[in-house]
Amino acid sequence: MLPTSEYDSFADIYAVWTDTAASTRANLAFYVDAYLQAAGPVVELGVGDGRIAVPAAARGRAVIGIDLSAAMLERCRRRAADAGVLEQLTLQHADFRHFKLDQPAGLVALPYHSLGHLPTLDDKRGAIAHIFSQLQPGGRFVFDDFLMTPALIDHMRRVQLRAAYRTAAGAETLLWVTSLVDEASQSIRVVTWEDTLDAEGVLVRRQYRRLSLSWLEPSQARTLLQEAGFVIESCFGDFARTPFANNTAREQVWIARRPE
């Protein structure tokens, strides 16, 4: 039996969440380009609502999408159907630590800091080793992770108004977020809440949701990739492919290859 996913209760606000995140706007073109250039089957782990996979499919690339959340996969199906590309997607309800492919992949991608859903180094080590096993010789693994700096930690710990919008029923809603960051364990507990207001601006409903995340230091990411047998081709500091430098990087974006 698959474990439950926090995203099952997050799915209905996921589009608002991603539409208001700077990193998702930056990473879309990067990943779509990687999918289009891949030699061999393309797999997206944590495919979510198809934010990346569907635009790639619209440009002719077949994508295998894997996600632990059945609710998110249903949203992905709807998005793909609305775009007329459902036949380009093969969706699998699975834990990305244990997914199985009919044939080895040419590219496995894990966008949007999603490796961080695995809480421990051992979990991440096992997942990366499994991804290596599902790639064809010469196949690539592409992923990004948080680059945690004092400034980012301070930003995450603040209470922020993430979005103001109207629901499908027309209710005015405010989406708030803050995070509990534990530097010792490299863990993040994201807490969001939506305030639904009536016509006079009075709060009529508040709903809380939580996400558990973690991060790798760049040196840890490099070690785990090398332990699994990967050759590291690139580490970028952003999605414009700027070479990684500690004083300028905003992300850590890795491209690793299974040797021929």
Q: pLDDT band at 183, cuts 50/70/90? A: very high
Structural domain boundaries of the chain?
Answer: 6-146+216-257, 150-214
Global pTM value: 0.96
Q: Rounded to an integer, what distance in angstroms lies between the CA atom of residue 243 and that of residue 206? A: 43
* Residue 132 pLDDT exceeds 80: yes
Measure the CA dihedral 77/81/87/89, to 10°: -30
* Residue 120 pLDDT exceeds 90: yes
Q: pLDDT band at 115, cuts 50/70/90? A: very high
Q: Rounded to an integer, what distance in angstroms lies between the CA atom of residue 211 and that of residue 122? A: 20
**CATH code for the part of the protein at 6-146+216-257:** 3.40.50.150
* Residue 4 pLDDT exceeds 90: no
C-beta of residue 30 within 8 angstroms of C-beta of residue 231: no
Q: What's the rounded mean pLDDT across residues 92-99? A: 95
Q: What's the rounded mean pLDDT across residues 72-86? A: 98
